[in-house]
A and B are shown apart, each in its own frame.
Chain A
Amino acid sequence: MWENIKDFASTFFVTGDPLIYGADVSIALTSIAIVFVLTYFKKWTWLWREWITTVDHKRIGIMYLIASLLMLFRGGVDALLMRTQLALPNMKFLQADHYNAVFTTHGTIMILFMAMPMMFALFNLVVPLQLGARDVAYPFLNSLSFWLFLMGAMLFNLSFVIGGSPDAGWLSYPPLSELSHSPGVGENFYIWGIQISGIGSLATGINFLVTILKMRAPGMKMMKMPLFSWSVLSSSIIIIFAFPILTVTLALLFLDRFLGAHFFTMDLGGNPMMYVNLIWMWGHPEVYIVVLPAFGIFSEVVATFSKKKIFGYNSMVFSMMLISIVSFFTWAHHFFTMGASANVNVFFAISTMVIGIPTGVKIFNWLFTMFRGRITITQPMLWTLGFIPCFAVGGATGVMLAVAPADYQYHNSYFLIAHFHQVLIGGVVFGYLAGIYYWWPKVFGFKLNDRLGKWAFWLWNIGFYVCFMPQYALGFMGMTRRLYTYGSDTGWDLGWAPLNLISTVGAFLMGLGFIFQVWQISYSIRKGERDLTGDPWGGRTLEWSIPSPAPMYNFAVEPQVTTDDAWWKVKEDRAKGIKPAPVKYEPIHMPKNSAIPFVMSVCWFIAGFGFVFDWMWMAIPGLIGVAICLLARSFSYDTDYYIPVDEIERTEAALRGRTV
């Protein structure tokens, strides 16, 4: 008996590495601390009522934001571990198998559990306010999306201390990810973590597509819609078409591992190349899913801080829609070397280069917007200005990679690593950070400190170039990706070591930048400049027309829109002395909170955990729980209520009284 338990525990819990024990201890301590604080301050009901069961898009956005920052931390620690291991030849910091696990979790977490939720945070925090809407189209589904994402992310992260991390790369190519080559549970964690959160992402795509198509304020025609909302629309469309492919691909891989099917195995007719095709049919559109909203953010930021209408609005819209289509026809550029015919490679090489054109158009539009504008360099603007050269160079190296014959040389080298980090950090991360700094006062009611922010920006920006520019050279010198160490011969004689060392220094500079941001946030919570106007930047779009933070119902009266930059127009009219129409409040229709999204996601978590360990006694009850939750939702009819007029009057009086 005792032997059995010991046996079980030694495979169930990950053991043998001081890092893991450290993580165990810190997870346990953090959990105890959280429970203690909540109990001590009697915050459990508050947490349950105001957050866990909320269907308010603003709160859901905040929860996405917190989760994504935590994941940025975890992904960043992974990155620093790798860079430490690579700093010098023959380092003994990480073993080969640890290194494999770390680059796998780093890549997966950064894209699926950091970039995606940070993007959804911005969707939620901004889109309904920008459209003049009271919520998203399906608030209940929105909450479900969040909890599915969080449970998926937790399941994935659990693999660090229980069962063992996945280690077959962030896209889990078979046959390496098949049972034959990865017999542990790590790949199961990968599959179920992504699968569960992926369902949530798909639902969010549908939710925001309908929100944008149907919930705009009266008079806001599509072509009068702010560009960030346009970017969310194009991104949502890609989600809707790309995520189902991911769902199927992961499901098939799971069937291979779970039921012994032969979709991607080496034997009995399986075809591993089919997996590679399928996963990139999702994977390439995925990078556009995350980068398009960043483009939208830059468009808002540039227009606001140049005090000008965005240059070339129509071409911006057109190029985003074009990108969302063409992004589905470039996937094979990720495996030019896998032996497709020259004609196939030519098609994908050209389509990849073509997609650079609309992207270039956008860069010129931003530059022309700034041209002769009255520019103020605020923090959002700093990140935007950091983005432009970074993304331009990243795009240029992307076009180099798109030259199929040349790619035989760059493929899977550090040149590639440098390229995609340049677009992912320079484009996506800088973009989202610009957005977070820009909308932060709207969400929380205060600005983030400028001095600390400047430190963070320069550390990130300089650190970025120091880290990744040497990697282009390393790629040319023959250093391949996913390499856990190198000897002193290549290190010193071929000159890899100095470049790697510089690169590691850069990575730590970025880490320092992150620390400054944590400091900045905690400092500003106490001392940040409060925003009493609701419009701290001189904004142009509707979210700036209401108090910060926005009241629960967002808009006391539905705004009537006549032009683009609707709020700017209102301000111009006011300056001309045109009086706004008198307001008349009406009761506001609101959705009620619900516990079902949370409970259902917990059931998914239980089912997922059961499938990971092949424990049907756990998986099946989990799935039954999911079904019960669905039925419970279907049978509940009392799902909404009205905010009466006098309550609106009171809230508005309090808010506007403060606002003056």
Chain B
Amino acid sequence: MAHATAEHSHAHEAHESHESLKVLGFWIFIVTDILIFGTLFACYAVLHTHTNGGPGAKELFEMPGVIAETFILLTSSFTSGLAVLAMHKGKVKQLIAWLAVTAVLGAAFIGMELTEFVKLVEEGHKISSNAFLSAFYTLVGTHGLHVSIGLVWMIGLMIQLSRRGVTEVTTRKVTNLSLYWHFLDVIWIFVFTVVYLMGVM
């Protein structure tokens, strides 16, 4: 019996340190992702004037939609923060609810972005039109792809939370997810500033 409890407490410790190890690894993953976006931003900076005579940022971008997207994504970052707060209080239902709100907002963001892309393409501004548009679609699309992957992950986590509640493992997972989500938010602020604001100015 004594043996069993010793084993248990040991197990507990090992587990906990293992979970924090995974958060550290996720931070480093985020660093590599920052480099991915950094490289894409650099390419955009080089190519954003290479329109080959076609319309540039000023002519193409419609700010109201983009501003709405921005607000939606910022709000979703806030609600994901609320989800983490609920988690620390141990309230599973609340946690899942806030995650659901976050996911809906994220989906709305993706929907708006897709609409914007479809409209541009229908007007004949395609990824193959010129170097500026190649860089634009790739940079913004990579961010959108990240958000979409985040959505799938979020849904998977909500299912796990409803089955298992708040445990060490699910806590770590939610922590990483919200880290990811805030990170995408920060990236978007750069996209918004560099691509859209500076583009139309």
Which residue numbers of A lie inside 8 Å of B, CB to CB?
137-138, 141, 202, 206-207, 209-210, 213-214, 240-241, 243-245, 247-249, 252, 255-256, 259-263, 265, 267-271, 274, 278, 586-587, 589, 627, 631, 634-635, 637, 642
Q: Check A586–B39 contact: CB distance below 8 A.
A: no
Q: Check B47–A248 contact: CB distance below 8 A.
A: no
- Also in contact, A637 and B169, with CB within 8 A (given A261-B134, A271-B50): yes
9 pairs, A vs B, C-beta closer than 8 Å: A202-B32, A206-B28, A210-B28, A255-B134, A261-B137, A268-B131, A269-B131, A586-B6, A634-B157
**B162 CB within 8 Å of chain A:** no
- Also in contact, A268 and B36, with CB within 8 A (given A261-B134, A263-B43, A631-B156): no
Give the residues in chain B near A627, CB-CB below 8 Å: 152
Q: Check B51–A269 contact: CB distance below 8 A.
A: yes
Q: How close is A108's CB to chain B, nearest CB, in angstroms?
A: 21
A281's nearest neighbour on chain B, judged by CB, is B39
**B5 CB within 8 Å of chain A:** no
The size bracket of the interface on B is: 35 or more
Q: Check A252–B21 contact: CB distance below 8 A.
A: no
**B31 CB within 8 Å of chain A:** yes
Bound-complex Cα distance A137 to B180 (A):
21
- Which 8 A-B pairs rank lowest in CB-CB distance, beginning with the nearest? A269-B50, A269-B131, A260-B128, A244-B35, A261-B134, A248-B39, A262-B131, A269-B52
Give the residues in chain B near A241, CB-CB below 8 Å: 35
Q: How close is A131's CB to chain B, nearest CB, in angstroms?
A: 14
- Also in contact, A244 and B131, with CB within 8 A (given A252-B138, A634-B160): no
- Also in contact, A268 and B10, with CB within 8 A (given A263-B131, A635-B156): no
Q: Check B138–A214 contact: CB distance below 8 A.
A: no
Bound-complex Cα distance A240 to B29 (A):
9
Which of chain B's residues 101-153 have a Cβ closer than 8 Å to chain A?
A: 127-132, 134-135, 137-138, 152-153
Bound-complex Cα distance A342 to B117 (A):
43
A634's nearest neighbour on chain B, judged by CB, is B156
Query: Could you say which of A141, A210, A245, A255 contacts B127, with CB atoms under 8 Å apart?
Result: A255
A275's nearest neighbour on chain B, judged by CB, is B43
Query: Could you say which of A210, A243, A586, A637 contacts B25, with CB atoms under 8 Å apart?
Result: A210
Bound-complex Cα distance A255 to B138 (A):
9
B6's nearest neighbour on chain A, judged by CB, is A586
Q: Check B50–A210 contact: CB distance below 8 A.
A: no
Q: How close is A24's CB to chain B, nearest CB, in angstroms?
A: 37
Query: Could you say which of B14, B28, B29, B132 contacts A269, with CB atoms under 8 Å apart?
Result: B132
Give the residues in chain A near B46, CB-CB below 8 Å: 271, 274
Q: How close is A509's CB to chain B, nearest CB, in angstroms?
A: 42
Q: Check B43–A642 contact: CB distance below 8 A.
A: no
Give the residues in chain A near B128, CB-CB below 8 Å: 259-262
Bound-complex Cα distance A248 to B139 (A):
11
Q: Check A635–B50 contact: CB distance below 8 A.
A: no
Give the residues in chain B near A252, CB-CB below 8 Å: 43, 138
Give the residues in chain A near B157, CB-CB below 8 Å: 634
Bound-complex Cα distance A587 to B127 (A):
58
**B189 CB within 8 Å of chain A:** no
Bound-complex Cα distance A642 to B31 (A):
33
Bound-complex Cα distance A322 to B28 (A):
21
**B62 CB within 8 Å of chain A:** no
Bound-complex Cα distance A245 to B11 (A):
40
Residue of B11, B28, B129, B137 with highest tally of chain A CB at under 10 A: B28
A215's nearest neighbour on chain B, judged by CB, is B21
Bound-complex Cα distance A42 to B127 (A):
54
Map CB proximity to A onto B150-191 as digits: 1 under 8 Å, 0 otherwise: 001100110110001000010001000000000000000000
**B86 CB within 8 Å of chain A:** no
Q: Check A262–B32 contact: CB distance below 8 A.
A: no
Map CB proximity to A onto B1-36 as digits: 1 under 8 Å, 0 otherwise: 000001100110010000001101100110111011
Q: Check B52–A586 contact: CB distance below 8 A.
A: no
**B40 CB within 8 Å of chain A:** yes
Bound-complex Cα distance A260 to B46 (A):
19
Bound-complex Cα distance A241 to B29 (A):
11
- Also in contact, A214 and B24, with CB within 8 A (given A262-B131, A268-B130, A271-B50): yes
Q: Check B47–A263 contact: CB distance below 8 A.
A: yes
A264's nearest neighbour on chain B, judged by CB, is B131
Map CB proximity to A onto B42-80 as digits: 1 under 8 Å, 0 otherwise: 010011001110000000000000000000000000000
B160's nearest neighbour on chain A, judged by CB, is A635
Give the residues in chain B near A259, CB-CB below 8 Å: 127-128
- Also in contact, A137 and B21, with CB within 8 A (given A248-B39, A642-B7, A642-B11): yes
Q: How close is B53's CB to chain A, nearest CB, in angstroms?
A: 9
Q: Check B32–A587 contact: CB distance below 8 A.
A: no
Give the residues in chain B near A262, CB-CB below 8 Å: 50, 128, 130-131, 134
- Also in contact, A206 and B39, with CB within 8 A (given A261-B128, A635-B156): no
A243's nearest neighbour on chain B, judged by CB, is B32
A247's nearest neighbour on chain B, judged by CB, is B36
Q: Check A244–B32 contact: CB distance below 8 A.
A: yes
- Also in contact, A209 and B28, with CB within 8 A (given A137-B21, A244-B33, A635-B160): yes
Bound-complex Cα distance A214 to B7 (A):
23
Q: Check B47–A271 contact: CB distance below 8 A.
A: yes
Q: Check A278–B156 contact: CB distance below 8 A.
A: no
Q: Check A244–B36 contact: CB distance below 8 A.
A: yes
Bound-complex Cα distance A469 to B132 (A):
47
Residue of A241, A261, A586, A637 with highest tally of chain B CB at under 10 A: A261
Query: Could you say which of B6, B39, B129, B132 contacts A244, with CB atoms under 8 Å apart?
Result: B39
Q: How close is A554's CB to chain B, nearest CB, in angstroms?
A: 15
Residue of A207, A245, A269 with highest tally of chain B CB at under 10 A: A269
Query: Could you say which of B24, B33, B47, B129 contacts A210, with CB atoms under 8 Å apart?
Result: B24
Give the residues in chain A near B14, CB-CB below 8 Å: 589
Residue of A206, A243, A260 with highest tally of chain B CB at under 10 A: A206
A260's nearest neighbour on chain B, judged by CB, is B128
- Also in contact, A138 and B25, with CB within 8 A (given A261-B134, A269-B51): yes
B32's nearest neighbour on chain A, judged by CB, is A244
Q: How close is B25's CB to chain A, nearest CB, in angstroms?
A: 5
Give the residues in chain A near B52, CB-CB below 8 Å: 267-269
A639's nearest neighbour on chain B, judged by CB, is B169
Give the residues in chain B near A210, CB-CB below 8 Å: 21, 24-25, 28
A244's nearest neighbour on chain B, judged by CB, is B35
- Also in contact, A263 and B25, with CB within 8 A (given A269-B130, A587-B7, A642-B11): no
Give the residues in chain A near B132, CB-CB below 8 Å: 269
Q: How close is A122's CB to chain B, nearest CB, in angstroms?
A: 21
Bound-complex Cα distance A483 to B129 (A):
37
Give the residues in chain B near A207, CB-CB below 8 Å: 25
Give the residues in chain A near B173, CB-CB below 8 Å: 634
Q: Check B39–A263 contact: CB distance below 8 A.
A: no
Q: How close is B154's CB to chain A, nearest CB, in angstroms?
A: 11
A141's nearest neighbour on chain B, judged by CB, is B25
